[in-house]
Amino acid sequence: MVDPTIVIGAGSAVLGIVTGMGLALALKAKKRIMPPDEQKDLWRHLEELSNERAEFAAKKKALHKSYDAGTVNEAAFVGKDAEYTHRLEDLDARIDLVVKQLSQEFLPKEMEDRDKLLRDISDLSVLTRKIRELELEREKLGSEKDSLSVQLTESEEEKKSTLAERNLMERKAKELEEQSRALETGIQSLTKEKASLQDRLASTQSPDQRLDNLKNENRLLRQSLEKNKERSTALSKEVAVLETLMERHADIVEQREAKTAKQLREMVVPSNAVIREAVKAYPTPEEAYNFVRDSITEIRLDIEANFWMTPEEVWRLRAAEDEDRAIFLCSMLRAMGKEAKVVVVELTSRVQRAVVYNEDRLLTLEELHDYNDFIGPEKQVLDKYVFDGAHVKKVLYWFNDKDYGQGG
């Protein structure tokens, strides 16, 4: 990393050289054209310009560090960087002008190489400015190198983790398939037991008793069958989600899908064809919310994986994890022109949860909540939100297709 005192020192060295040359040559000059007070003003002005340039160089350096750290968005960075660059170029031109004025005052008219010396002084100023720019560029490249080294180390760790997660997904899919088969076997067994009970009752009871018992038994069996069918349907959806994720990621075991800020913004896609189709079918925010809450089943995969589903997959399967559901709803609201964003929070139970904040209300996708349950400022409604008995501990990050931020 470049020490800022080196850059400031370089400018001071140039100023010292020019000062020394001016004083030495002034002793040889036969007369002075410029009054002494005016000369002092020029020297004072040169010092002010040098200090101002050092200040703007420091601001530009701080801006680059903030952008590399992700605390300044790209639009603000481009505007400020252009402003500081223009200001530094203007200060360099003004410094050159003052240096030339002082050089012309102190150089004796009788020197034959006057023009050459002036060119050398100008070249020295340009060279010093280039040295400053190269030092700043070297510092920026050093920061990028450090960042890439950290990313490389993280990628190696994530590579090992991804392989283990895929194996866990495969085992989970097999377990779900076995549970589904066991439920089917249970349904068949209950059906046979029902037939056997009907036969026994028919041979031992009166017609009225048999009819009443059969009605009660049929009611209980229907309830049992409905519960097993619901569980079987839920398991089928979990298997479909896992199979979809495994098919999409089978050829990228060497690469984890952890999202950067830019990639998270790209997950919200208001212009996507499926999103437009969904908005056409559910054209208001409340209709869109009810559709995602009621028609897209939430699947909770008991695995540590960061795989995101596409809108096409969510639309086709009608099932997804909480963050994928939140992203789908946010995309629909953004397609309607709303100021919606996905907010990922950490609960006091250490569980992470994704919700959507749309202009004046918090939209959670649990069945027990409605569209108008959480109306008010974002922080106020987040404090009221409870999931599985746990409150919001902190906001981890938020994003939509235009912006990204961390914390509350």
Map out the domains of the chain as residue ranges: 4-156, 160-249, 261-406
The 10 Å Cβ neighbour count of residue 394 is 11
Question: Most confidently modeled of 147-161, 180-194, 279-293?
Answer: 279-293
| pLDDT, tens digit (0-9, with 9 covering 90-100), for 228-262 | 566 656 656 665 665 565 555 544 433 333 457 88
Higher pLDDT pick, 346 / 114: 346
pLDDT of the residue at 321: 92
> Of 54, 61, 46, 49, which is closest to residue 9 (Cα–Cα)?
54
d(CA 147, CA 145) in angstroms, rounded, equals 5
> Of 310, 168, 352, 151, which is closest to residue 253 (Cα–Cα)?
168
| pLDDT, tens digit (0-9, with 9 covering 90-100), for 193-229 | 767 766 665 566 566 666 676 677 667 767 766 665 6
Under a CB-based contact definition with an 8 Å cutoff, are residues 323 and 343 in contact? no
pLDDT of the residue at 6: 36
| pLDDT, tens digit (0-9, with 9 covering 90-100), for 55-99 | 989 999 998 989 888 888 888 889 989 998 999 999 999 998 888
Share of the chain above pLDDT 90, in %: 36
* Architecture of the CATH domain 261-406: Roll (3.10)
Q: pTM score > 0.85 for this model?
A: no
Under a CB-based contact definition with an 8 Å cutoff, are residues 306 and 258 in contact? yes
pLDDT of the residue at 376: 96
SS (H, E, C) the chain: CCCHHHHHHHHHHHHHHHHHHHHHHHHHCCCCCCCHHHHHHHHHHHHHHHHHHHHHHHHHHHHHHHHHHCCCCHHHHHHHHHHHHHHHHHHHHHHHHHHHHHHHHHCCCCCCCHHHHHHHHHHHHHHHHHHHHHHHHHHHHHHHHHHHHHHHHHHHHHHHHHHHHHHHHHHHHHHHHHHHHHHHHHHHHHHHHHHHHHHHHHHHCCHHHHHHHHHHHHHHHHHHHHHHHHHHHHHHHHHHHHHHHHHHHCCCCCCCCCCCHHHHHHHCCCCCHHHHHHHHHCCCHHHHHHHHHHHCEECCCCCCCCCCCCHHHHHHHCEECHHHHHHHHHHHHHHCCCCEEEEEEEECCCCEEEEEEECCEEECCCCCCCCCCCECCHHHHHHHCEECCEEEEEEEEEECCCCEEECC
Gap between the terminal Cα atoms of the chain: 33
pLDDT of the residue at 300: 81
Cα of 64 vs its chain's centroid, Å: 19
Higher pLDDT pick, 144 / 281: 281
Mean pLDDT score across all residues of the chain: 78
